[in-house]
Amino acid sequence: MGIVLGPNQYGKAENRVVRIYRESERHEIRDVNVSTSLRGDFSAAHLTGDQADVLPTDTQKQTCYAYAKEKGIGDIETYGLDLARHFVDDIEPVTGARVEVEEYDWERVNNPNHTWVKKGQEVRRTVVTVDGKGDGQRVWIVSGFKDLVLLKSTGSQFWGYHEDKYTVLKPTTDRVMSTSLVAWWRYNTTDLDFGGVYDDVKRLMLQAYADVESLALQQTLYEMGRAALEAHDEIAEVKLSAPNIHHFVYDLSPFGLENNNEVFHADDRPYGLIQATIQRDDEDSGAADNADPGLAWYTVPAFA
Amino acid sequence: MGIVLGPNQYGKAENRVVRIYRESERHEIRDVNVSTSLRGDFSAAHLTGDQADVLPTDTQKQTCYAYAKEKGIGDIETYGLDLARHFVDDIEPVTGARVEVEEYDWERVNNPNHTWVKKGQEVRRTVVTVDGKGDGQRVWIVSGFKDLVLLKSTGSQFWGYHEDKYTVLKPTTDRVMSTSLVAWWRYNTTDLDFGGVYDDVKRLMLQAYADVESLALQQTLYEMGRAALEAHDEIAEVKLSAPNIHHFVYDLSPFGLENNNEVFHADDRPYGLIQATIQRDDEDSGAADNADPGLAWYTVPAFA
Amino acid sequence: MGIVLGPNQYGKAENRVVRIYRESERHEIRDVNVSTSLRGDFSAAHLTGDQADVLPTDTQKQTCYAYAKEKGIGDIETYGLDLARHFVDDIEPVTGARVEVEEYDWERVNNPNHTWVKKGQEVRRTVVTVDGKGDGQRVWIVSGFKDLVLLKSTGSQFWGYHEDKYTVLKPTTDRVMSTSLVAWWRYNTTDLDFGGVYDDVKRLMLQAYADVESLALQQTLYEMGRAALEAHDEIAEVKLSAPNIHHFVYDLSPFGLENNNEVFHADDRPYGLIQATIQRDDEDSGAADNADPGLAWYTVPAFA
Amino acid sequence: MGIVLGPNQYGKAENRVVRIYRESERHEIRDVNVSTSLRGDFSAAHLTGDQADVLPTDTQKQTCYAYAKEKGIGDIETYGLDLARHFVDDIEPVTGARVEVEEYDWERVNNPNHTWVKKGQEVRRTVVTVDGKGDGQRVWIVSGFKDLVLLKSTGSQFWGYHEDKYTVLKPTTDRVMSTSLVAWWRYNTTDLDFGGVYDDVKRLMLQAYADVESLALQQTLYEMGRAALEAHDEIAEVKLSAPNIHHFVYDLSPFGLENNNEVFHADDRPYGLIQATIQRDDEDSGAADNADPGLAWYTVPAFA
């Protein structure tokens, strides 16, 4: 029995690239955070320290900045795909690449030509994975957002649950429901108006969040994912992760005050955490992908 | 020579109060973070542990939540003033109170009645200080914001500076200028539409940031403060603190690429930090206040 | 083609449980952060909002605190296993549970009986996963740490790497190497002195980090993992994730000063990120587990 | 009535300087975060954008790194004083400087020569302020630490406090007391073994925290400050800021379990916040300094 190298990857994380387009008087801005990871047979680097097959992480960084000029930054999916394909197609020892891009949104203020204020809401992001050289090359594009903080002040219930000896929670038919939503969805194509789909998926999820009379956060998440899948054939699968940010009705009775869901304490920890996948029932490529844990999009955050 | 107690205060920090108004079908929301500090002669608590004069921090917390119902939460300045005056006027041993309130802004989404998404931009805040009981009671209201992130892609220069033997910086007539602005301004009245003034001051500062052809961040800050003071007699003084979030032009020349202020690296640390006060030349009450460092608004963040 | 529910889980995250043992005058302390997730057929909760099979996250929280008294908190692996087995064995609709526990270490100060100062170094943690009821029940225990920050001021090189047209990095035979190490290792048994093994694995990894004349961070990580596997048969596999915290030699030549690896700028972003698995060559149970992405330890951080 | 410039300063914040001493095989390390601010008549920079009197923040940065080589980094107080005096004495337009230095502590591991692990406990820091050129030059050195997290599991009480209609808290004669201590103390000399005094002050404060049978956190803080002042004539004044990190006894009675101060929930927010100054009764220079809020050490964190 010996000891061997298993799955591995390496790259340059969190390159903070800002791209200004100044061809016209009305400038445009793209503000991204891009992280690269390369895969291949890097046994020598691990076992003997031989770097002959290793493209330095510094070179990966240079490439991210150079591509911001050479290719430009349009949709983050396209920028990520350009980078990932370059590493796999052009660098001989590299057989797979994972490129993650976060984008920070800005809105123009006052002088419309060249001044912005950061929007500060959700962060749009994508993970592009390219595996294999030549004809058999496979591509995954998984996009989504984080930090979309939502709250509804009614239209949420929780009752009829399983009880055991540790159950002290009281059922409710009207509560505040709030979350900071993390959404990921996997595309089944690389030829798409990614920005347009992003805006529509976000819109649909917000609409479902607002409209569903919720019997559980699980139910709300499922309806949000379903709305996205029904409207967008180009999406194969949706994953949602939603903390239940508890807003506890504050006990004002010692002071002779009523509190009819008016005054709450927003608590930090602990919080509920509800996570669900919503997918198509003919989705078997996903199952196949999962057999390869180094590539399947379940493993998008490959390490933590 | 003996050892004695000097300036001191105590309270409950970061009460996360959320207030929903549900009198009509169209709910309203106020989401605040409130911190209280009480001042007075608390020598006994420090020297012998005698708590007879100490209103517990837990009671201060209860009061914050109770007032959200009893008084409601309108402008954070009014909510803070109600709390501060209550502690000083109604609690015998308390002779001064400092109440800080942060407010998180939400915007309605889709269903306009009871669903919101957190805006995520700047945090509005105020510090209300009440000192003394009865006729001589003094009040300070200092308001402002933090986390307003700005960027302009041209219209900023930096040249003609003092040089010494450690100076290697090259002058520039066109650079990116970006900051995450912290603003404080002191009101000279307690009777005001605080929310309306807030919106207008923010608007004026953004306008000045965009419009000034900047020879230095100092100059831009001064013009932002001046715009606020000129338009609002009810403001006595403005303090601005602005990190210079460096956007370095990335060197693409090794790759044969031009970079005409198009591709930048947004750096984290170190950063410039420019801080200035803009005030009225007849402002002598401020000087007088400063003689009492426990109360002067310079000491708003009394400890760190 | 329809839309269906895929893999899902739910629970209560970040319960901050502190346990004091005060049977003798010399108290003991355990300070943990525990997160639970339950798995099973929760389709009804998602599709119709029916909660009959859902054990509330509040109940999971109560159980974490109750078990701190009923079972006590010894090794976090044992505490996590008790909780996970309870949920799967005692709650009918639950067929799988994932329990993550972080532990914060304290050291006694001065008065040895009941006063501590928080150590503040690495955070020990474990993820315990139990799948299936009765005879076929499987258990995974994956333990490790995060936030172990290391630095060596010599004994690290980097040269001989693959170059392309974006490569500008200069080779070096002497550099600072620093990381904030994240380590995970999977046990192949549940019957163990987990604390004793933890201490020894940490010691071995530190020793390898210090001793290896490093030709690449990859090589150092491999040797750290190998040292753990060689000494501990009860460990099946090691995963290491190591940011390369760049310490750039500062250019002092404009000031006529030599800098022979003496003055560095410690940069924040971007950073290299090296991730590797070190395993046994007869390790096929891992491969089998990977076919079930909901359970395999690759998916320990199932969502992000 | 016109608008004028008030107190202002500018500088380079958070220079992350790491200094390795490698004269012998046994290397030494200093790891600091240094922030500079310069004061003087910078009206022109603000009013007209004229930079002739402005030493760029980039030059300040270069100086921090150059001094790490030229002067070395011994005690952070000495390093800060060298920098502050240089800016005031050598740069004509500069009449005052404030230099803040944080230091991160490392301990050697295994190989004693050149490998370290970051300690991760409290951060030692200092603020050095130099005001005025030539004979009348004044110097303040204020040192201390942050992030020293303490807990005692008994020996803390809280009862006999002032009650009003919002008081619901129950008195206790035995509770957990925990804090994350921020300490500042002002030296009355610049000629000192700063590191030796630091270690002893920290030791004395920990001892007092452990030994005092506490009737209130106020009492404990006062005793901690008194211990430092009594032992060290070179300290003029102590300021302590201590969050009361609440550890709530968890209610296990619904499950038929006793909880005799054994199981706690460590809560995040809100938290008590106790702040106190302990000083000498002949300390009138402090009062005099306070009349000048731009310089007094009360305003060490001049802006927030």
Which tens digits make up the pLDDT trace of C69-88? 999 999 999 999 999 999 99
User: Sign (positive/negative) of CA torsion B161, B165, B166, B170?
Assistant: positive
Rounded distance, CA D135 to CA C259, Å? 36
Q: Which residue of C has its CA nearest to B267?
A: C269
Annotated catalytic residue: which of B61, B86, B246, B247?
Answer: B246
User: Sign (positive/negative) of CA torsion D44, D47, D50, D55?
Assistant: positive
* SS3 call for A298: helix
What whole-number percentage of chain B has pLDDT above 90? 83
CB-based contact B181:B204 (threshold 8 Å):
no
Rounded distance, CA A114 to CA A118, Å? 13
CA-CA-CA-CA dihedral for A166, A171, A174, A175, to nearest 10: 0
Rounded distance, CA A199 to CA A240, Å? 17
Residues C65, C70, C71, CA angle at the centre, nearest 5°? Answer: 95
Annotated catalytic residue: which of C61, C86, C246, C247?
Answer: C246
Q: Which residue of C has its CA nearest to A61?
A: C270
**Interacting residues of A259 by C-beta distance below 8 A, sequence separation 6+:** A249, A250, A251, A252, A253, B69
For residue D110, the distance in angstroms to the closest alpha carbon of chain B comes to: 32
Rounded distance, CA C181 to CA C206, Å? 10
CB-based contact A161:B28 (threshold 8 Å):
no
Rounded distance, CA A43 to CA C186, Å? 22
Q: Which residues lie across from D141 on neighbouring strands? A: D128, D187
pLDDT at C287: 37
pLDDT less than 50: residues of chain A:
284-304
**Which residues does chain A have within 8 Å of residue D268's beta carbon, measured at their own beta carbons?**
268-269
pLDDT tens, D230-274? Answer: 999 999 989 999 999 999 999 999 999 999 999 999 999 999 999
Checking if the pLDDT of D75 tops 50, the result is yes
Residue of A263, A269, A271 to mutate when probing chain D, most D C-beta within 10 A: A269
Mean per-residue pLDDT for B262-283?
Answer: 91
- Is-catalytic flag, C48? no
Mean per-residue pLDDT for B289-302?
Answer: 36
Which has more pLDDT, B180 or A301?
A: B180
Q: Which residue of A has its CA nearest to C65?
A: A166
CB-based contact A154:A126 (threshold 8 Å):
no
**ipTM for this prediction:** 0.91
Which has more pLDDT, B261 or C289?
A: B261
Nearest CA among A109, A107, A148, A150 for reference residue A125: A148
Question: Do the chains contact at A116 and B259, CB–CB below 8 Å?
Answer: no
Which residue is associated with the tokens 């009981």? B133
- Is-catalytic flag, A95? no
Question: Do the chains contact at C16 and D68, CB–CB below 8 Å?
Answer: no
C191 phi and psi angles, rounded to 5 deg? -115, 95
Annotated catalytic residue: which of C57, C59, C95, C299?
Answer: C57
DSSP 8-state secondary structure symbol assigned to residue B303: -
pLDDT at C2: 92
CA-CA-CA-CA dihedral for A83, A84, A85, A89, to nearest 10: 110
- Identify the H or E element spanning B205: helix B194-211
**Which residues does chain B have within 8 Å of residue A19's beta carbon, measured at their own beta carbons?**
262-264
Tokens of B297: 């608004």
Question: Do the chains contact at A17 and B149, CB–CB below 8 Å?
Answer: no
pLDDT tens, C118-145? Answer: 999 999 999 998 989 999 898 989 999 9
Task: Decide: residue A2, CB within 10 A, 0-12 exposed, 13-18 middle, 19+ buried.
Answer: exposed
Residues D142, D145, D150, CA angle at the centre, nearest 5°? Answer: 145
CA distances from B132 to B93, B139, B287, B289, D188 (A): 11, 9, 19, 14, 33
**Which residues does chain D have within 8 Å of residue C17's beta carbon, measured at their own beta carbons?**
250, 263-266
Annotated catalytic residue: which of A27, A57, A71, A152?
Answer: A57
Rounded distance, CA D34 to CA D11, Å? 11
CB-based contact B278:B237 (threshold 8 Å):
yes
Rounded distance, CA B56 to CA D206, Å? 25
pLDDT at B150: 97
pLDDT tens, C12-50? Answer: 999 999 999 999 999 999 999 999 999 999 999 999 999
**Which residues does chain C have within 8 Å of residue A235's beta carbon, measured at their own beta carbons?**
none
Mean per-residue pLDDT for C39-64?
Answer: 96
DSSP 8-state secondary structure symbol assigned to residue C255: G
Which pairing describes strands A263-266 and B15-21: parallel, antiparallel, or unpaired? antiparallel
Q: Which residue of B has its CA nearest to D6?
A: B277
DSSP annotation string for C8-32: EEEEEE-EEEEEEE-SSSS-EEEEE
pLDDT at A1: 63
Number of residue pairs across C and D with CB atoms under 8 Å? 193
* Banded pLDDT at D113 (limits 50, 70, 90): confident
Residue of A117, A179, A259 to mutate when probing chain B, most B C-beta within 10 A: A117
- In SS3 terms, chain D reads as CCEEEEEEEEEEECEEEEEEECCCCCCEEEEEEEEEEEEECCHHHHHCCCCCCCCCHHHHHHHHHHHHHHCCCCCHHHHHHHHHHHHHHHCCCEEEEEEEEEEECEEECCCCCCEEEECCCCEEEEEEEEECCHHHCEEEEEEEEEEEEEEECCCECECCCCCCCCCCCCCECCCCEEEEEEEEEEECCCCCCHHHHHHHHHHHHHHHHHHCCECCHHHHHHHHHHHHHHHCCCEEEEEEEEEECCEEECCCHHHCCCCCCCEEEECCCCEEEEEEEEEECCCCHHHHHHCCCCCCHHHCCCCC
* Mean pLDDT across chain B: 90
Rounded distance, CA C113 to CA D298, Å? 37
Checking if the pLDDT of D39 tops 70, the result is yes
Checking if the pLDDT of D1 tops 70, the result is no
Mean per-residue pLDDT for B100-128?
Answer: 91
CB-based contact A175:A155 (threshold 8 Å):
no
pTM greater than 0.95: no
CB-based contact D226:B46 (threshold 8 Å):
no
Residue of D164, D251, D269, D271 to mutate when probing chain A, most A C-beta within 10 A: D269
* SS3 call for A218: helix
pLDDT at D281: 87
For residue A165, the distance in angstroms to the closest alpha carbon of chain D comes to: 7
pLDDT at D6: 86
Question: Do the chains contact at D278 and B6, CB–CB below 8 Å?
Answer: yes
Rounded distance, CA D252 to CA D260, Å? 10
- Is-catalytic flag, B146? no
For residue D271, the distance in angstroms to the closest alpha carbon of chain A comes to: 12
User: Sign (positive/negative) of CA torsion A134, A140, A141, A146?
Assistant: negative
**Which residues does chain B have within 8 Å of residue C165's beta carbon, measured at their own beta carbons?**
255
**Which residues does chain A have within 8 Å of residue B147's beta carbon, measured at their own beta carbons?**
120
Q: Which residue of C has its CA nearest to B165?
A: C255
**Which residues does chain A have within 8 Å of residue C167's beta carbon, measured at their own beta carbons?**
55-56, 58-59, 62
Among A41-50, A87-96, B196-205, B275-284, the minimum mean pLDDT is found in B275-284
**Interacting residues of D11 by C-beta distance below 8 A, sequence separation 6+:** B272, B273, D35, D36, D37, D38, D57, D60, D98
- Binding partners of B (≥3 Cβ pairs within 8 A): A, C, D
For residue A168, the distance in angstroms to the closest alpha carbon of chain C comes to: 7
Nearest CA among A271, A269, A268, A283 for reference residue A235: A283
Report the amino acid identity of residue D199.
D
Question: Do the chains contact at D270 and B13, CB–CB below 8 Å?
Answer: yes
* Mean pLDDT across chain C: 91
* Banded pLDDT at B286 (limits 50, 70, 90): very low
pLDDT tens, C187-232? Answer: 999 999 999 999 999 999 999 999 999 999 999 999 999 999 999 9
- Binding partners of C (≥3 Cβ pairs within 8 A): A, B, D
For residue A249, the distance in angstroms to the closest alpha carbon of chain C comes to: 15
Question: Do the chains contact at D5 and B222, CB–CB below 8 Å?
Answer: yes
Q: Which residue of C has its CA nearest to B257?
A: C166
pLDDT tens, A9-63? Answer: 999 999 999 999 999 999 999 999 999 999 999 999 999 999 999 999 999 999 9
Binding-site residues on chain B for chain C (CB distance < 8 A) = 165-166, 168, 254-255, 268-269
Question: Do the chains contact at A252 and B69, CB–CB below 8 Å?
Answer: yes
Question: Do the chains contact at C298 and A299, CB–CB below 8 Å?
Answer: yes
